[in-house]
Structure 1
Amino acid sequence: MTAIILASASPRRRELIHQIGWTADIEKSCFHEVSDVAEAEDKRKRYPASLLDSFSGVDLVCAVNALGKAEDVLKETGTGIPVLGADTVVTLNGKILGKPEDEEAARQMLRFLSGNTHQVKTGVALLKGDRKLLQVVTTSVTFRKLTEDEIGKYIATGEPMDKAGSYGIQGKGTLLVESITGSYDNVVGLPLVTVYEMMKVLQKDL
């Protein structure tokens, strides 16, 4: 059975890991996440060009956050077990939509997403010893045209309040979505096929 250390307290990511039969010890990272491209570009300077050179824009934000979380936990654990870090963002027209601060912010985000196709991006970092693998996976999600009543009722469920983009596709938010192109697991918070393939590469290289 494959064992990892998950640098995330997200119950959704933990459930996804268990779904494929892996075990995961949870170690929440204290890494201070970057929130925009400018911050990510500044963080990029800490790393060898080869590690982050292929990422730009919102992809760079996800990559830096995933890598930072994994590195922070790796320093604390110091074990031979691979550490998995991840960061998921919702973006539309270059704007990053984080978790809403309040119900009004959630309402504004859902109005923004209504009737449009946005992207969900997850940066995935898998570390063991000095070996570092890093990828960003993108899924396109198209929302139905939502009415104000639908938005209000969804917000009233409380589901949007702890989720990037103010919705959860694995919950009641599935009714907001008309279609997706790409990995469903990625929208939930962790692209499982990508993680699996990265683990195969890591095990082969070691």
Structure 2
Amino acid sequence: MNPLVVPLIESIGRNFRVVLASGSPRRKELLDRLNLSYEVIPSNFAEDLDKSKFASAADYVISNAVIKAQEVYQRIKDQSDKPVLVIGADTVVVSSSGAILEKPASPEDAAETLKSLSGKSNMVYTGVCLIIGGTEAGKVTIEKAIESTEVTFDELDDDMLEAYVATGEPTDKAGSYAYQSYACFFIKEIKGDFYNVVGFPCARFYQMLRDLHQRGVL
């Protein structure tokens, strides 16, 4: 299969230093499909914001994405001979009770989280922040977007729960599951962007780039 070659993406990769402010292998895998030249510089942000201070999970997740992007941008903005485009992202799962579920602290924590999601629907939110700086105009542009997807679990029996936690897959996943892998056996429905659940809303990201280009920012 031939690579995806989009003139806009080629131009961005050629004219900007593009940085993904995330060490997530899933985000890297998805971004690679766009055939965009970029580098990975994970954010050092501790992700320790007080959830109770935010009116909604959407507000919380976009704040995380913005801070991640800003932290990396501040580190590299004076080290580049080209304008900079930093991509920040954050994903959380929100239970039917409204609890924000991030990565589990332990296998036991993962099991408890999965039990709480069994037979119910949860929402996945991903915040994406793009920071563009170092252009001739001298202006820094911050573009933000949020994608949401509803995921419905089947009833999760004990055998599957124990086997799934034993794989180690829930360890580094928001909400303790990965739909694109073993969790496909107990997720019965999804409403919205599949890739948002994986951790990066690809279509929304491309739309952001296209909109920025049309406005003359990229």
Give the TM-score, by structure 1 length.
0.88
- Aligned alpha-carbon RMSD (Å): 1.3
CA deviation after TM superposition for structure 1 residue 94, in Å: 1.1
Equivalents in 1 of 2:48, 2:212: separation in Å? Answer: 27
Structure 1 gaps of 5+ residues are 42-55
1:136 aligns with 2:140: no
1:8 to 7, 13, 22: 22
Question: 1:109-138 deviations in whole A, cap 9, x for unaligned?
Answer: 111111101000000001102111101110
Give the TM-score, by structure 2 length.
0.84
Equivalents in 1 of 2:153, 2:143: separation in Å? Answer: 32
CA deviation after TM superposition for structure 1 residue 142, in Å: 0.4
1:184 aligns with 2:194: yes
Aligned counterparts, 1:22-33, within 5 A: 22-33=36-47
Equivalents in 2 of 1:106, 1:85: separation in Å? Answer: 25
Question: 1:59-80 deviations in whole A, cap 9, x for unaligned?
Answer: 1110100000001111111141
| Secondary structure at the counterpart of residue 109 of structure 1 | helix
Equivalents in 1 of 2:112, 2:167: separation in Å? Answer: 16
Equivalents in 2 of 1:26, 1:74: separation in Å? Answer: 12
| Secondary structure at the counterpart of residue 127 of structure 2 | strand
Amino acid at match of 2:69: A
| Secondary structure at the counterpart of residue 71 of structure 1 | helix
Query: Rg bigger for which structure?
Result: 2
CA deviation after TM superposition for structure 1 residue 81, in Å: 2.8
1:101 aligns with 2:116: no
Structure 2 gaps of 5+ residues are 1-9, 134-139
Equivalents in 1 of 2:149, 2:169: separation in Å? Answer: 21
Equivalents in 1 of 2:184, 2:76: separation in Å? Answer: 37
| Secondary structure at the counterpart of residue 93 of structure 2 | strand
Amino acid at match of 1:9: G
- What residue number does 1:74 align with? 73
Task: Report the identity percentage.
Answer: 37
- What residue number does 1:46 align with? none
Equivalents in 1 of 2:31, 2:44: separation in Å? Answer: 21
Question: 1:165-194 deviations in whole A, cap 9, x for unaligned?
Answer: 111111112212101000001000000011
CA deviation after TM superposition for structure 1 residue 36, in Å: 4.1
Amino acid at match of 1:91: V
Equivalents in 1 of 2:130, 2:29: separation in Å? Answer: 18
Equivalents in 2 of 1:118, 1:165: separation in Å? Answer: 9
| Secondary structure at the counterpart of residue 38 of structure 2 | strand
CA deviation after TM superposition for structure 1 residue 26, in Å: 0.2
Aligned pairs, number:
191
| Secondary structure at the counterpart of residue 82 of structure 1 | strand
